[in-house]
Amino acid sequence: MPPYARLTAREHLEFVADCKGVEEDIDELLADIGLVPAADRKVGEFSKGMTQRLRLGMALVGDPDVLILDEPSSGLDPTGISEMRELLRERAAAGATVFFSSHILSEVEELCDRIGILNDGQLVAVDTIDELRAVAAPETTLSIVVGNADCDPLDVLAAHEAVSDVWKDDDRFCASVDRGEKASVLAALENDGITVDDFSVDEASLEDLFTAYMDGNRRAREVES
């Protein structure tokens, strides 16, 4: 239901509650979506972000078991996005199933425990982000700072069976490592007399995974044609 310019935020939520035949604490819901100060203003005076907050509130009326949201952060400022994310986390923790579509992949990565990737209307992948990484990006980048070294760390890294590539980035020794083999690579360095002072692991982002699945799906179509 699109918001009506002549109605207030409160009237919208009351109308949706009537349509669903549910009792709703409208004041509490207005507080949840951050619209208490504007509760009795006509929606025609709202900004895009305020209208988006109202849309979310309308979806939440009746505490549904399933929420289906399309680009829920569209039009929201950083504070609104943070509040929206927290609200969705709370609903999910309370047992609701939340489906939402978004082109903001960092938001998807932060909020979702399972992710589906669509390409030309086809669902090409659906899984946890860890499992998607295991399929599309089986390697991670291990970045290491060493202290004492009896030999060249790059030589030790390159000789490890779980390492496919090595390079140096300023004072850090880097390697592309099979996922799950980080500990064995670090142990190999220590066994060869190299002290590891610090390390970090750079996992493929959801954007990287999305690109990998899109490229793979496109190549598959080219082969079929």
> Which residue, 29, 36, 37, is CA-closest to 13?
29
Alpha carbon 125 to its chain's center: 15
**Spans of the chain, pLDDT less than 50:** 220, 222-223
Q: Which domains does the chain have, with CATH numbers?
A: 9-112 (3.40.50.300), 138-202 (3.30.70.100)
Q: What pLDDT score was predicted for residue 148? A: 83
Cβ atoms within 10 Å of 48's Cβ, excluding its own: 10
Q: Any idea what DSSP says for residue 205?
A: P
Q: HSE-up of 89 (CA within 13 Å, CB side)? A: 10
Q: How far is CA 201 from CA 5, 25, 180, 182, 193, in A?
A: 50, 46, 11, 9, 22
Q: What pLDDT score was predicted for residue 3? A: 84
**DSSP annotation string for 48-88:** HHHHHHHHHHHHHTT--SEEEEESTTTT--HHHHHHHHHHH
Question: At CA 73, angle to CA 69 and CA 202, rounded to 5?
Answer: 105
At a CB cut-off of 8 Å and minimum separation 6, what does 39 contact?
8, 9, 10, 27, 30
Q: HSE-up of 74 (CA within 13 Å, CB side)? A: 12
Q: What pLDDT score was predicted for residue 223? A: 43
